[in-house]
Amino acid sequence: MSILEMKVPSPGESITEVEIAAWLVKDGDFVEKDQPIAEVDSDKATLELPAEQSGIITLKAEEGDVVQVGQVVCLIDMSAAKPESTAEAPKAENAEAPKAEEKVVEKPAIVEASKEEKPTSYASGTPSPAAKKILDEKGVQASDVTGSGKDGRITKQDAQTASVAAMGSGTSGGSRAVTSTKLSMLRRKVATRLVSVKNETAMLTTFNEVDMSEIFRIRKQYKDEFAQKHGIGLGFMSFFTKAVTRALQMYPDVNASIDGDYKINYDFCDISVAVSGPKGLMVPVVRNAENMSFRGIEASIKNLADKVREGNISVDEMTGGTFTITNGGVFGSMLSTPIINPPQSAILGMHNIIQRPVAVDGQVVIRPMMYVAMSYDHRIIDGRESVGFLVAVKEAIDNPVEHLFNGDERKALEL
């Protein structure tokens, strides 16, 4: 028998432990090499753990366990033969013994069931033995729990998060169930960082508004040609990223961080872009954005956003930004005060675009307007720099042809 001990690999520098967020296979399953077998949470990202070899797997850790990098979390019996397909078994005996076929169909169901259960325990709404024990201890009826397991069975996790519905004569008879779900390691780390920002920085926010008319015109005029030539859409983020990198070069103290008694200035602009994914908000980094074209920025952001949404983003791709852009407008936010992403010293918040009446050259006109907010650490960024920075962003968005395109739209868009 040849047994492989699978250990937790290091997700990145400085990470010493991870949490088993979910097993994607069951104990005793046959797994193929490189097949994802688990999702693990670090304090920076959620990553998939692939099988290192093919064979029968034995789990050595449970969901929710915090394990050290290098710790054995499962065993793979590489000498075990891959089981025959359940679909082929009935065909082999079909011609000779129809009754025997029924037995063959039933056997795979027993293999999939828990060793302590009968096949019928996998019926919808039926708890596993471990789940039943937990429900009995809580006094919760299985009929009040929605199972997330195969065929609707109630898993141990379902039982752990279930609670008794509070009933009383004054209620309307509707569900009053309360569930308790442990925060992922990533979410707990984010929570700690956000609280530390509020407690350890002198954070202030300054506001302004930008007129999106020219950007609307440029996108409408060139979006089809841009997409046809570059194979990617022309969105708002490239305009704002370009406006931010220009403003950072004009106000270098905004592109800085504090390290003890020292201020660290960066001569490059690594822009963190907030992206909402299935595991929460992540901030992958566009490196050296100050040297990128509109096409390069759009391609880089799309690539990183796809990785976040697919759960394939790496820790390195989310580390080392010098300034962050977040767009709450995609969710309908009109105005907000974004929180600084440490160790950075400033963040720009974009918001939704609303057709509003504004005064232009003494006339009231309707324009697509957006509020923008910049939160900054007042310990190293003074009011002059913060307000000047946001005004520079406004200038570039209000008049991109002059400030971002150098008067040549087609050349800037590489058309």
Mean pLDDT on 264-284: 88
Q: Is 382 a catalytic residue?
A: yes
The rounded distance, in Å, linking the Cα atoms of 411 and 75 is 58
Range in 171-175, 184-188, 296-300 with the lowest mean pLDDT: 171-175
Summarize pLDDT for 33-85 with one digit per residue, the tens. Answer: 989 898 888 766 677 888 998 999 999 988 888 888 888 999 998 888 888 76
Q: At what angle do helices 213-230 and 383-398 cross, to 10 degrees?
A: 70
Residue 172 banded pLDDT, cuts 50, 70, 90? low
Residue 205 has pLDDT above 50, yes or no: yes
Residue 392 has pLDDT above 60, yes or no: yes
- Residue 9 or residue 95, greater confidence: 9
Q: Is 378 a catalytic residue?
A: yes
Residue 87 has pLDDT above 50, yes or no: no
Write down the residue that tokens 């909402």 correspond to: 276
The pLDDT mean for the chain works out to 83
Write down the residue that tokens 């391609």 correspond to: 299
- The burial class, CB within 10 Å (0-12 / 13-18 / 19+), for 324 is buried
Contact (Cβ atoms closer than 8 angstroms) between residue 285 and residue 317: yes
Quickly count: other Cβ atoms within 10 Å of residue 315's Cβ. Answer: 17
Residue from 29, 378, 403, 408 carrying the catalytic annotation: 378
Give percent of the chain above pLDDT 90.
43
Cα 293 to Cα 110, 276, 290: the distances in Å are: 59, 24, 8
69-78, 130-139, 187-196, 374-383 — most confident range: 374-383
Residue 116 banded pLDDT, cuts 50, 70, 90? very low
Residue 97 banded pLDDT, cuts 50, 70, 90? very low
Cα 64 to Cα 181, 246, 335: the distances in Å are: 11, 45, 37
Give the pLDDT of residue 44.
66
Mean pLDDT on 140-144: 80
Write down the residue that tokens 């004009």 correspond to: 250
- Cβ neighbors of 74 (< 8 A, separation 6 or more) are 6, 37, 38, 57, 58, 59, 60, 61
Residue 377 has pLDDT above 80, yes or no: yes
Q: What's the token pair of residue 275?
A: 């992206």
Give the pLDDT of residue 118.
41
Residue from 27, 65, 306, 382 carrying the catalytic annotation: 382
Q: What is the pTM of this model?
A: 0.65
Contact (Cβ atoms closer than 8 angstroms) between residue 354 and residue 372: no
Contact (Cβ atoms closer than 8 angstroms) between residue 34 and residue 105: no
Give the pLDDT of residue 135.
82
- Cβ neighbors of 156 (< 8 A, separation 6 or more) are 128, 130, 131, 134
Range in 170-179, 299-308, 403-412 with the lowest mean pLDDT: 170-179
Is the peptide bond prior to 343 cis by the omega test (within 30 degrees of 0)?
A: yes
Residue 121 has pLDDT above 60, yes or no: no
Give the pLDDT of residue 150.
67
Mean pLDDT on 291-318: 89
Q: At what angle do helices 213-230 and 294-310 cross, to 10 degrees?
A: 80
Give the pLDDT of residue 14.
64
Q: What's the token pair of residue 131?
A: 């789940």
Mean pLDDT on 292-315: 89
Give the pLDDT of residue 111.
37
Residue 218 banded pLDDT, cuts 50, 70, 90? very high
Phi and psi torsions of 365, nearest 5°: -130, 160
Range in 95-104, 183-192, 291-300, 357-366 with the lowest mean pLDDT: 95-104
